[in-house]
């Protein structure tokens, strides 16, 4: 799990400081931070995209593994279209409920 650190940020210059007990060897070093709320939003968006990718990958795997019987190509193709429409509709519904 990611550890969150509470810190103070200057509303003027933006300096970020997290008070700690000084042991007399302090040095300032350049570091990079992200705001916790931005990180959490990004994590949530990533999870949504993972679910979308998994749903589409499942559909593609089924397409690859399916071999229609002789003369059954059109029926198989139509069934795959129907399933793809359902997956896309579900993804669209999830997307609209997220907004």
| 77 contacts: CB under 8 Å, gap ≥ 6 | 68
Q: What is the pLDDT of residues 26-67, one digit of tens each?
A: 777 777 888 899 999 999 999 999 999 999 999 999 999 999
- In this structure, what are the phi and psi dihedrals at residue 27, rounded to the nearest 5 degrees? -140, 140
Q: What is the pLDDT of residues 67-94, one digit of tens each?
A: 988 999 999 999 999 999 999 999 999 8
N-term to C-term CA, the chain: 27
* Cα Dmax for the chain: 82
Q: Is the pTM of this model over 0.85?
A: no
């Amino acid at each position: 799990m990611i550890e969150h650190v509470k810190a103070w940020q200057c509303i003027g210059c933006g300096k970020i400081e997290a008070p700690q007990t000084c042991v007399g060897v302090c040095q300032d070093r350049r570091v990079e931070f992200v705001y916790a709320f931005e990180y959490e939003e990004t994590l949530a968006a990533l999870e949504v995209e993972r679910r979308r990718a998994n749903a589409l990958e499942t559909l593609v795997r089924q397409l690859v593994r399916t071999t229609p019987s002789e003369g059954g190509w059109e029926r198989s193709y139509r069934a795959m279209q129907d399933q793809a429409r359902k997956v896309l509709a579900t993804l669209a519904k999830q997307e609209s409920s997220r907004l």
